[in-house]
Structure 1
Amino acid sequence: MALNKKGLTDYFVSSKVVLSKDCNDNFYENGTKLNSMDTEEKFTRKEFIDRIKSEVSQFVNRSFDNIVVLAGAGASVVTNEEGIDKDYGKTVGMIAENIAKELGDLNREEITSENNEDFENFLTIQQLSNMCNYQIPVKKEEKFNEEFNLEDFLSKALTYRQYLDDSYKEKDEYLKTVEKILEIIERQTSYNFDTKKMNHGALLKILSSKLKKENKLTVVTTNYDTLFEEAAERLEMTVIDGFSFSYYPYFDSNMFDWKLVRDVPNVKTTQLEYKENVINLLKIHGSLTWERSESDQKIRRKQKDSVNNPIMVFPSSNKYVQSYDKPYFELFTKFQELLRRPNTLLITTGFSFADNHIATMITQAIKHNPGLNALVSDHNISQGHNNWEELYGLMEDHFQIAFLKATLNADLIDYIGEQNVY
């Protein structure tokens, strides 16, 4: 767990208030130890949580015209007493380790017969790394090397393809291995929504209730899974995801600009009534349910189990180039336009700001849109990489940014709204 410069763990940080704790469960505000107001005894955890809730409430419970949620990989992660629940969302590091296991770099006895078909036809990750000159080994002392970066590795591996010709003796193994890796990533990011373990529905309900009927909550996600769609379905919400309302839905970015209205019954007026519980969903890295039609080349949304070649931006440096292709360009453009709107609240959850193209888009919007307020939530709000440091610098320059140590499937909804709404 990352500590701040004073050796404390930060739980809420704004330009005015820093709430933190030490390893002995002592709680601090702006570096000063807190004592109970009633007895001057040790500040309790409940008092500390209530103090955080008060600060978060002041930040999010304003009359915003627009609310945008950015959900990264961490938004799909479920934790239990043993750590991360492997049946649900996985970190990029977990996916990399699973790839290494399936291709034989790690203990082969952990590989099931289901994913062990034609094992001898694939290269190991280490063999593929050597081939494309990726230097960091996949294992260290017979264990997975946490320094192994799947995004960097895939960038090298995918770029290497252009140097292969038909005479290269390992070309077939290379192509099969890369295809296998992409298939593993697809499988590792496919799981179903669980109302008992996931708070996606509660998040939608809480934030939708903070907006007027004519304004739609927008969820932007880098994830391929269908958790937000399934949560909205259970809540009987209408999801506008950029696809037509036709029998075979096809991608049409103009759908985001439409609102569902009807004439007010029995009233002779031009007044309109807006449909409740309508949200926008922008899946900026693609989806397990999207596939390009061979007949008309349109991007169509289908049932997840009927998609053979889903449209997805895989974790590599190529994703920055892919973001200019259809449909990603239209989705990124819409996201950028939303961040430019006045009186807007942006809440990020499970997004580490490691994606430079998305992080830059957000920081530029904060700099140029004085009406944009950003609540950045994550399991660790003391990260040290450049994009995170830039956000902290903007906060210290009194831009409307606050940081909250919280995750979607644990405690985020407790801070932004009542837990029993779902």
Structure 2
Amino acid sequence: MFFFFFDDDNKSDEKQIELHYLSNSISYGVDKIDEKEFFDSHGILEKQESKDGSQDEFKEGDFKRLISEKIRKTIYGEKYSNIVFLAGAGASVTPNQDPKYGKTVRMIADNVIEELHKCSDTLYTLEKLAEKCRYKDGNIVDNRKSEEKGIPVLVDSFNLEDFLSTLFHYRPYVPDDDKEKFNKTIDKILQLIKENTNYSYNGKFLKHGALLNFLSSLSGKDGNKFSVITTNYDVLIEEAAAENNFVIFDGFNFTPLPKFDSNMFEWNLVKEIQNVNTREVEYKDKIFNLVKIHGSLTWEKQDNGDIVRKNKDSITETDKMVMVFPSSDKFAQSYQEPYFELFTKFQELIKRPNTLLISSGFSFADDHISKMITQALKNNSGLKLLVTDFNIDPNRQWNEKSKQYDEIAETDTKYNKNWQELVHLMNEGYSISFLKATMNNDLVDYLSGRYLNDEN
């Protein structure tokens, strides 16, 4: 781990600091307890004295302005020829975590255990499945909290991805007289995951449209498409694009029943300009690539092997869904069609020179994606990375009882080794910075420089 605020002589004065911006040159944070003191790497931030000797209080607006100046240097410090935006699960979540617009993985797991209990006459409960496949020996329920709420409550350490990995690996060893019920339960879990990631776009609460407009303005014109990479199955980006008059190249052709064709990413839209002497063309604006590397609610595999895009509610059979469900087998699945082509496109994009990669709500818990990014950083000196999330210091955990941060041990399953690798690369001088901001709250405000002109 790294010690961030203050030098060794000042450790006795150390505050409980929540990080808001982190880079290898300067970092900023806020006192977690009263949220009224602001710090940089050297200590508390105070306003400069004015000519008349007075000194105003350093406020939140001043703090945001300082961070915005750093973000602006990253965004506009050079003219990028390639803009890539990586959206993880957190990009679909609203600040108040309203389940109508986006759910965390934990919220999905909570729904799964509750719904399986309602079907306990015909399906296995989540606890029974955990017992069968020896996941935590079946001890996945917090009995005290369950009694208080009157419904089964999962223990804090439950990890849906790890659980499904264990479950899928146990599947071949299920006794014959148990297979039907076991497989029906798995099918129900996958259906619940689909249902829990099926949201509709609402521009009042979701800022995907504002983000697309910003990325479009940053990319410029002349056919310089920006790219959105997402691990999400939902169609929030597609619906936001439609609402804001964007054209998407998502790897599907433009037939009545669109079929997957990865070559579509290389195309653009142009029109001829009437000119007596030359044949000039004009590129359509507001156009981008959408690369859904874990599949989509709208993709279905046909009996002949073709992958088509359909209405999301018309796809009901789990074995025809083109979605990489959360498990450790995600890496192996990435070599199958269409995921291999999608991951290849992602790799190709972040290998290009003069590239800006911005991530939002992506935890870097996925090893296969994280390794692609770290390798690209090591081998592409023209790649800059801005990581944004609701928490940019995930290997410290706030202890509400003791009012202090606890370090998460490297041996703990909650320890994020990929995130720590990024911090290590940042400290070695790679172009990486971290910003505490979320897609549906303040991310676009920071990226667009709104706080630079705000009055306190």
TM-score by length of 2: 0.85
Letter in 2 for 1:43: F
Task: Identify the match of residue 161 of structure 1 among 158, 171, 195.
Answer: 171
Distance in 1 separating the partners of 2:278 and 2:316: 50
1:247-289 deviation line (CA, Å, top 9, x unaligned):
1100000000111122222252243211111100000000000
Instruction: Identify which of 40, 44, 67 aligns with 2:83.
Output: 67
Aligned to 2:269: 260
RMSD of aligned residue pairs (Cα, Å): 1.7
Q: What is residue 202 of structure 1 aligned with on the other side?
A: 210
Whether the aligned pair in 2 keeps the contact of 1:260 and 1:274 (CA below 8 Å) is: yes
| Partners of 2:86 and 2:230 within 8 A in 1 | yes
Query: What is the CA distance between 1:164 and its match in structure 2?
Result: 2.7
Q: Could you tell me which amino acid in structure 2 is paired with residue 97 of structure 1?
A: D
Query: What residue number does 1:54 align with?
Result: 69
Distance in 2, matches of 1:177 and 1:307, equals 19
Q: Which amino acid aligns with 1:212?
A: G
Aligned to 1:368: 379
2:356 pairs with 1:325: no
Please say if 1:278 is aligned against 2:287. Answer: yes
**Which one is further off, 134-143 or 394-403?**
134-143
- Give the letter aligned to residue 356 of structure 1: D
Structure 1 segments, 4+ long, off by >6 Å, are none
Deviates more, 1:84-93 or 1:229-238: 84-93
The one of 233, 244, 247 equivalent to 1:224 is 233
Aligned twin of 1:343: 354
- Cα shift at 1:221: 0.2
Q: Distance in 2 between matches of 1:267 and 1:174?
A: 71
Q: Secondary structure at the match of 1:194?
A: coil
Distance 1:139 1:267 in 2: 76
Instruction: Say whether the 8 Å CA contact 1:375–1:403 is kept in structure 2.
Output: yes
1:151 aligns with 2:161: yes
Using the TM superposition, give the Cα deviation of residue 15 of structure 1 relative to its aligned residue in structure 2, in angstroms: 1.2
> Quick one: distance in 1 between partners of 2:392 and 2:337?
33
Query: What is the percent sequence identity of the aligned residues?
Result: 46
Query: Which residue of the other structure, out of 431, 437, 449, is the alignment partner of 1:400?
Result: 431
Structure 1 unaligned runs (5+)?
A: 105-115
Q: Is residue 131–residue 139 contact of structure 2 (8 Å, CA) maintained in 1?
A: no
State the AA in 2 paired with 1:314: F
Contact 1:137 1:148 in 2 (8 A): no
Q: In 1, Cα distance between the equivalents of 2:307 and 2:382?
A: 35
Instruction: Give the unaligned 5+ runs of structure 2.
Output: 6-13, 147-152, 396-415, 452-456
User: In 2, Cα distance between the equivalents of 1:401 and 1:264?
Assistant: 42
Q: Is the 1:28–1:34 Cα contact (8 Å) retained in structure 2?
A: yes
1:209-233 deviations in whole A, cap 9, x for unaligned?
Answer: 0112121010000000000000000
**Residues 28-39 of structure 1 aligned to structure 2 (within 5 Å):** 28-37=39-48, 38=50, 39=54
| TM superposition shift of 1:29 | 1.5
Change (3 A) 1:267 1:400: farther
Look up the match of 2:411.
none
The TM-score with structure 1 as length reference comes to: 0.92
Matching of residue 417 in structure 1 with residue 452 in structure 2: no
Which residue does 1:99 correspond to in 2?
A: 112
Instruction: Name the counterpart of 1:10.
Output: 19
Give the SS at the match of 2:241. helix
Given the alignment of the two structures, is residue 387 of structure 1 paired with residue 418 of structure 2, yes or no? yes
Is 1:139 matched up with 2:141? Answer: yes
Counterpart of 1:112 in structure 2 is none
Residue identity in the other structure for 1:341: R
Equivalents in 2 of 1:376, 1:407: separation in Å?
Answer: 10
CA distance in 2, matches of 1:370, 1:327: 29
Contact 1:64–1:345 (CA under 8 A) maintained in structure 2: yes
1 CA distance for matches of 2:226 and 2:86?
A: 11
Kept in 2: contact 1:206–1:418 (CA 8 A): no
Say if 1:31 and 1:9 are closer, same or farther in 2 by CA, change over 3 A: farther
The 5 Å alignment of 1:177-196 reads: 177-196=185-204
Match of residue 109 from structure 1? none
Deviation of the 1:79 alpha carbon = 2.1
Q: Does structure 2 retain, via aligned residues, the 8 Å contact 1:220–1:335?
A: yes
